[in-house]
Amino acid sequence: MGELVTFGYMSVTKTPNEAREPYLAVVESIIRSNALHGSESLCKLLRYLAEQALQYPGIALKEYQIATEVFGRPPDFDPHLDSAIRVQAGRLRMKLAEYYASEGAEDPIVVEFPKGTYALTFHRRIVSAGAPLATGLRPERQAPGVRNWAIAVVVLSFLLVMAAAALAGLWRSQRQAMTARPVPPVPQALAIFWKGFLTATDEPWVVFSNAAFVGRPEVGMRYLNPSQDSHALVLDHYTGVGEVLGVHELDRVFHLFNREIRVKRGSLFSLDDAKNNNLIFVGSPAENLTLRDLPSMRQFVFQRLPSGLHKGDLVIVNLHPRSGEQQYFQATPSDLPLSEDYSVIALVPGLNPSGSVLILAGLTTIGTQAAVEYVCREDSLARLLAQMTLTPADEVKPFEAVLQVKVARGVPVESSIVAVRGET
């Protein structure tokens, strides 16, 4: 049977690359498993913790470091006020336990994430001898030392079996206790708004904006100009801070419902993906280009100013302005520090009549973050539902809304609805 032997990392000396490979390989195996399928945030956290454990053994990570380096939280992140990292760490521990109870039961290396620390540990399994090898001698002629050794091995093997059974029983009882623990009720506003995305068989796709750039950050990078730039030089692996934080916020909300999301960058998304799934687009059509090929908004559209002092700036156009409403919603001009942004929250029918498309898009990445947070927070979502006069039994119908977003130091600090269209 198997015995766990700790692979120690007490020295602060970096682990040689050749010694790291088996441990990184088992981490990638866990990431590809069913236990972590569709949970990009947990996969990112596991990779980061593994790299840190192998690169800087014996050094425990701080919650602030994980928040800013893994999840893109701002420099003023306060772990005492925001428990998101502790929640993600708890989820990862549960997923690791789930993996080793199923697919990873026979893995030669075990990855553990002990409570009370943000440091991974690695263990190797070795096979214990179950019985002494045959010696070719008759039992009555075996030396006393050989007989004693054989008896000791049998007794040790029995004790190991009993210990493993006891540990398995303890793990099952803890698992049952965790399952029996009452789950906090989901806030009513969240349950009403997200009901349509929870009844589908498959997880919704979350598609984040993934603009095409040319150049490189170290020498200068800009948006692709199709009329003059070669597509062979396109960089499409960048996105905004707001999109990253928005995807994290959506993952948190769906976890409340014990559901997963599937995340994909816009440049890799296809119309085949759109046919049979509910979709959540994070980012404006200016960068989430797939939105241009799908049923989209009819009341508020994103356009660039064709002329004037701020020619080329992105704005939200109010196609049918009502009394007291602006025709154009424009963020702080691009040549000034951002203090005001606008974003759209829109629920529209999908390509499949039974599906839905939710668009959460700002004029800038900060506006996008504000739009996502607005539909993921109980208090703000309740204000939106109140304007739509919905009851718990009602279904959210297609609608479009515009948010005005106040920004301070690159963070959305206040959002308010300035226009709503739909079945109210």
In the chain, domain spans: 2-127, 188-422
The two structure tokens encoding residue 220 = 């200068």
Q: How far apart are CA 275 and CA 398, in angstroms?
A: 18
Dist CA 188 CA 171 (whole Å): 34
| Structure confidence at residue 84 (pLDDT) | 83
Q: What is the DSSP letter of 107?
A: -
pLDDT at 293: 59
Give the pLDDT confidence score for residue 126 in this predicted structure.
Answer: 63
| CA 230/CA 216 separation, integer angstroms | 14
CA distance linking residue 318 with residue 402, whole number of Å: 9
Would you say 47 and 31 are in contact if contact means Cβ atoms under 8 Å apart?
Answer: yes
pLDDT score, position 282: 93
Q: What is the pLDDT of residue 87?
A: 85
DSSP single-letter state for residue 131: S
Provide CB contacts within 8 A for 52, sequence distance 6+. 59, 61, 119, 120
Cα 62 from chain centroid (whole Å) = 20
Residue 414: CB partners within 8 Å, gap ≥ 6? 405, 406
Cα of 237 vs its chain's centroid, Å: 17
The pLDDT score that the predictor gives to residue 53 is: 87
Quote the CA–CA distance of 25 and 198 in Å, as a whole number: 34
Return the pLDDT at 8. 41
| Angle at the Cα of 117 from the Cα atoms of 113 and 121, rounded to 5 degrees | 40
The beta strands (E) that lie in 272-355 are given as 279-282, 300-304, 314-318, 328-330, 340-349
**Which element (helix H / strand E) includes 421?**
strand 411-422
What pLDDT, on a 0 to 100 scale, did the predictor assign at position 239? 81
Residues 6+ apart with CB under 8 A from 74: 68, 409, 410, 411
For residue 234, count other CB atoms closer than 10 A to its CB: 14
What are the tokens at 151?
């008896």
Strand duo 109-112 + 300-304: pairing: unpaired
Percentages of the chain per state (helix, strand, coil), in multiples of 5: 40, 20, 40
Backbone angles phi, psi at 278, to 5 degrees: -75, 145
- pLDDT the model gives residue 140: 40
- Identity (one letter) of the amino acid at 423? E
CB 242 within 8 A of CB 367: yes
The encoded tokens of residue 149 equal 């050794």
Mean pLDDT of each 10-residue bin along the chain, 424 residues long: 43 54 89 86 91 82 89 84 84 88 87 87 67 36 48 56 60 55 71 87 85 74 74 72 92 89 80 77 77 74 84 89 92 89 92 84 93 94 85 81 93 94 70
